[in-house]
Amino acid sequence: MRRRFVSLFFCIFLILFSFPSYAIEKVGCLLPLSGNIKYFSLSFFNGLSIPLSEASIQTIVKDISSEDLQKQLKELIQKDRVNLIVGPFLSMHVKACIPIIERYDVPLITPFAQSSDIPGISPLVFRFTFYPDDIRYLVDFAIEDLYSEDFMILCPDTAYGLELRTAFMDEVIKKEGHVVKIKIYKSKDMEYSSCIKQAFEVKDEGNFTYGCGVKFDTLFVAGNRKDLKKILSLIAFYDIYPRAILGNEGWNDSCIVSLPLGCTKNSYFIAGYYLDNKEEQNEHFVRKYKELYGKNPTLFSALGYDIGKMIVEAKECKTGNCIVDYLNSLQNRLGVTGKLVKFNNGDAEKIPFLLTIKNRKIVPVKSQLDIEIKE
């Protein structure tokens, strides 16, 4: 009888301690801490650490650039006994994690994986980031608030630029607008003048250039801050002033704000994070980030902070399913990166900030509470 009791006790012990213990006490991070995206990873982790440290949740970080990913993941779950995985950044790494997290019922939140097949790939996988199709909020604003009808698109030849072009064009057509011209420019080109003259069919007459041969009312200009600074200056130089100039995240930078006022006249753009947002939550985040790291947070820092806050809110969950249920229950949650409408098939449906430039300052056009999802 005693032997049976000992055997039963041993079986129960194995069941209880073969899997991570909950509530959330430890979070495992799988991040690339070397190589080309090291800066973004560190910025993300700095933001993530703030709410987790405030809630006494331990973070254990693995550099997936240096060792075998699946081995590191197993160590986090079996040895370090983490309750949740944050990362990786890349889609192929997320996919490699799925068999292991499903075996141990450990949820995973990725802040960046861009592949279109990530949503719904596993009930344990959640993606919290922004995508090119978020441009639809900008198109809605242009057509419904600015009464734009005829659009011209100017985008870089990068993969992201081409995605933005397609997403913007699709939304305009869906809203029964017209795309009258698309011009793709070479990113980081040293000379943009000929490209801009060709794009807008600027007329040459002796030593003078003037006019615009393209009939449109609204211009969409995408790019990084260095490209945009040169392109916007040239557009103003050639006296091209459409009803509105629309832009992407690259506009959200001090070097764009510092341009002469004519370069950013009637400009509107979307951004995943707005540093000068006066909401109390963001002011606390910025103040704390500066205290700890001596600089302003970035979009990646803000994404990390919002993910950390969601983890803290789910801290009392006892199982992986409980964490999953909690994340799936979130609706219209305001964070420093804007409004999370909901997780749809594990994919965050988010509303970006809609911003403009006035008196050399970036300011919101609309409150996050006033922007709605429109099918």
Residues 228 and 197 in one domain: yes
- Note down the domain range covering 52: 22-130+279-351
Residues 137 and 264 in one domain: yes
Phi, psi of 221, deg, nearest 5: -120, 115
Q: Are 53 and 85 in contact (CB under 8 A)?
A: no
6 lies in some domain: no
Residues 289 and 301 in one domain: yes
Phi, psi of 26, deg, nearest 5: -135, 140
Instruction: Give the model confidence (pLDDT) of 127-183 as tens digits.
Output: 998 776 688 999 999 999 999 999 999 999 988 889 899 999 999 999 999 999 999
What distances in angstroms separate CA 133 from CA 12, 71, 169, one per listed residue? 50, 35, 10
Neighbours of 118 (CB within 10 A): 20
What distances in angstroms separate CA 47 from CA 41, 286, 299, one per listed residue? 10, 10, 10
Chain centroid to Cα 221, Å, comes to: 19
Phi, psi of 151, deg, nearest 5: -115, 145
368 lies in some domain: no
Give every CB contact of residue 319 below 8 A, 6+ residues apart in sequence.
22, 105
- In this structure, what CATH number is given to the domain that contains residue 187? 3.40.50.2300
Q: Are 59 and 308 in contact (CB under 8 A)?
A: no
314 lies in some domain: yes
Residues 232 and 293 in one domain: no
Residues 180 and 255 in one domain: yes
- Where helices occur in the chain by DSSP H, the ranges are 2-17, 38-54, 69-74, 91-104, 136-145, 159-174, 193-200, 225-237, 254-257, 280-293, 299-313, 320-329
Residues 267 and 294 in one domain: no
Residues 108 and 150 in one domain: no
Residues 123 and 148 in one domain: no
The whole model's pTM is what? 0.87
Instruction: Give the model confidence (pLDDT) of 281-308 as tens digits.
Output: 999 999 999 999 999 999 999 999 999 9
Phi, psi of 314, deg, nearest 5: -95, 15
pLDDT tens string, the chain, 375 residues long: the values are: 555 544 544 444 444 444 444 578 999 999 998 878 889 999 999 999 999 999 999 999 999 976 799 999 999 999 999 999 999 999 999 999 999 999 999 999 999 888 889 999 999 999 998 776 688 999 999 999 999 999 999 999 988 889 899 999 999 999 999 999 999 998 876 678 888 888 898 876 655 555 677 899 999 999 988 899 999 999 998 889 999 999 999 999 989 999 998 899 999 999 999 999 999 999 999 999 999 999 999 999 999 999 999 999 999 998 899 999 999 999 999 999 999 999 999 999 988 899 999 988 999 997 655 555 555
Q: If DSSP codes are grouped into helix, strand and coil, which group holds residue 225?
A: helix
Number of domains in the chain: 2
Residues 243 and 298 in one domain: no
